[in-house]
């Protein structure tokens, strides 16, 4: 009767041979990407092409006969293309820091790990880093499934010349963290205001004695808890690892399906992929039926609306900006016709960008 090791040995030898072949093929792929990079360099054109990356993954997912699952194919090729892209030119990606935030995780989920991360102190700084060219792209949270819109991001999108060139959705799982995994001597819990709100029921039930302190990010809270044993932090896996904290309780968010949607901002305008979304900001004159009339062109041209959000126009009047996501790319003919009509009837119209729509 052969032992486990004896049975595994030939299969592992086969895996080794296959890995050598895969590496050889990946090296050839990387050389091809470098050639693409040289051509792009000659035209001074952007390295990162989200629509092409979407197409590469979709083609492989459609042609795969298994057993790899579509998600597995997507994550493998995300890293393959991230590494190939870095050979053309490593992209600098700005996000709300410090290291260990969900924004950093979102940047890695979208761009892969072969990037240079630029942690920023605020959402305003993320926008300005990209506007000034210190980073090619930024990743900013735009809405949370429990707490709604991130209003500062909406205001910055309104005023910035940047476009949205992608979106990424992350499940948000918060833990209560301390240096030694218990609450002895802990008097306060720190977190970003959004995280405190997302865990408020849990905190009221399980740790009502802790003073709640809002700080600039959960990772900042984790950094503070690592330095001060009277503090606990609410933060996720990346911050727990980055600041070497222990969990007092895991997954304490009130909604187990808590998710945050992030958008990728930059100067690149994506080409259509067939599965796109377009983000708009509109406002109307303050008269009865104005919003109803404004949206009529969408129905008329068969364009579906994925999101509708209103935000005060900050003019001291009862006026609002409407943030609307519609299905399709601004260059798709029915979307183009609807946008034309919206533009004609709206008091204010801004196209924030068309980009590949995330399935999750």
Ligand X SMILES: O=C(O)C(=O)C[C@]1(C(=O)O)C=C[C@@H](O)C=C1
Q: Which residues bind ligand X (CB under 6 A)?
A: 33, 36, 48-49, 52-53, 56, 81, 84-85, 88
Exactly one of 137, 262, 273, 322 is catalytic; name it.
262
Work out how close the CB of 169 gets to ligand X at its nearest, in angstroms, rounded to a whole number: 20
**Closest residue to bound ligand X by CB:** 84
CA distance 241 to 223: 11
- Residues ≥6 apart with Cβ < 8 Å to 42: none
Strand 231-235 and strand 188-191: pairing? parallel
Pairing of the two strands 276-283 and 92-96: unpaired
Residue 357 CB, nearest approach to ligand X (Å)? 18
Contact 267, 127 (CB under 8 A): no
Sequential DSSP letters for 73-111: HHHHHHHHHHHHHHHHHPPEEEEESSTT-HHHHHHHHHH
Select 84 or 239, whichever has its Cβ closest to ligand X.
Answer: 84
Q: How far is the CB of 96 from ligand X (least distance, A)?
A: 24
Q: How far is the CB of 317 from ligand X (least distance, A)?
A: 44
Nearest residue (CB) to ligand X, 56 versus 291? 56
Indicate the residue among 88 and 276 with the shorter CB distance to ligand X: 88
Rounded to 10 deg, the angle between the 70-89 and 4-42 helix axes is 50
Please give the helix or strand (H or E) that residue 259 lies within, else none: strand 259-266
Per DSSP, helices labelled H in the chain are: 4-42, 50-63, 70-89, 102-111, 123-131, 151-159, 193-198, 200-206, 218-227, 237-242, 290-300, 333-345
Q: How far is the CB of 273 from ligand X (least distance, A)?
A: 12
Report yes or no: 189 and 244 within 8 Å, Cβ to Cβ: no
Closest contact distance (angstroms) between CB of 269 and ligand X is: 14
Comparing CB distances to ligand X, the nearer of 53 and 276 is: 53
Spatial CB neighbours of 325, under 8 Å, sequence gap ≥ 6 = 277, 278, 279, 280, 305, 306, 307
Residue labelled with tokens 């004609």: 344
Return the number of the residue (49 or 179) whose C-beta is nearest ligand X.
49
80 versus 96: smaller Cβ distance to ligand X: 80
- In Å, how far from its chain's centre is CA 295? 28
Active site residue 43: no
Known catalytic residue: 262?
yes
Angle at 11 between CA 8 and CA 13, to 5 degrees: 105
Q: Extract the tokens encoding 35.
A: 């050639």
Closer to ligand X by CB, 49 or 175: give it.
49
Annotated catalytic residue within 153, 178, 260, 278: 260
Cα–Cα distance, 129 to 25 (Å, whole number):
37
112 within 8 A of 79, measured Cβ to Cβ: yes
* Catalytic center residues: 260, 262
């Amino acid at each position: 009767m052969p032992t486990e090791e004896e049975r595994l040995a030939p299969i592992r030898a086969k895996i080794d041979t296959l890995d050598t072949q895969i590496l050889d093929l990946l090296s050839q792929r990387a050389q091809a990407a470098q050639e693409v990079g040289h051509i792009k360099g000659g035209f001074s054109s952007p390295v990162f092409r989200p629509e092409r990356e979407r197409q590469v993954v979709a083609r492989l997912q459609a042609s795969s006969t298994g057993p790899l699952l579509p998600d597995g194919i997507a994550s493998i090729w995300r890293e393959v293309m991230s590494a190939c892209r870095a050979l053309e030119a490593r992209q600098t990606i700005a996000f709300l820091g410090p290291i260990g935030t969900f924004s950093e995780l979102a940047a890695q989920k979208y761009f892969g790990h072969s990037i240079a991360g630029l942690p920023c102190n605020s959402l305003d700084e993320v926008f300005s880093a990209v506007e000034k060219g210190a980073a090619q792209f930024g990743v900013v949270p735009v809405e949370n499934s429990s707490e709604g819109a991130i209003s500062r991001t909406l205001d910055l999108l309104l005023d910035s010349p940047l476009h949205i060139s992608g979106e990424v959705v992350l499940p948000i799982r918060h833990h209560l963290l301390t240096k030694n995994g218990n609450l002895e001597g802990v008097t306060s819990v720190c977190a970003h205001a959004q995280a405190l709100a997302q865990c408020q029921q849990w905190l009221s039930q399980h740790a009502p004695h802790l003073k709640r302190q809002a700080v600039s990010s959960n990772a900042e809270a984790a950094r503070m808890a690592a330095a001060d044993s009277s503090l606990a932090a609410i933060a996720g896996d990346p911050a727990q690892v980055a600041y070497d904290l222990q969990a007092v309780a895991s997954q304490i968010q009130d909604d187990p399906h808590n998710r945050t949607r992030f958008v990728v901002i930059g100067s690149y305008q994506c080409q259509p992929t067939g599965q796109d979304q377009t983000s708009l900001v509109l406002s109307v004159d303050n008269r009865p039926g104005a919003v109803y009339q404004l949206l009529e062109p969408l129905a008329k041209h068969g364009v579906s609306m994925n999101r509708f959000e209103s935000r005060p126009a900050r003019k001291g009047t009862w006026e609002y900006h409407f943030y609307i996501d519609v299905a399709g790319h601004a260059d798709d003919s029915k979307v183009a016709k609807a946008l034309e009509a919206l533009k004609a009837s709206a008091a204010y119209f801004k196209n924030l960008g068309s980009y590949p729509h995330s399935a999750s």
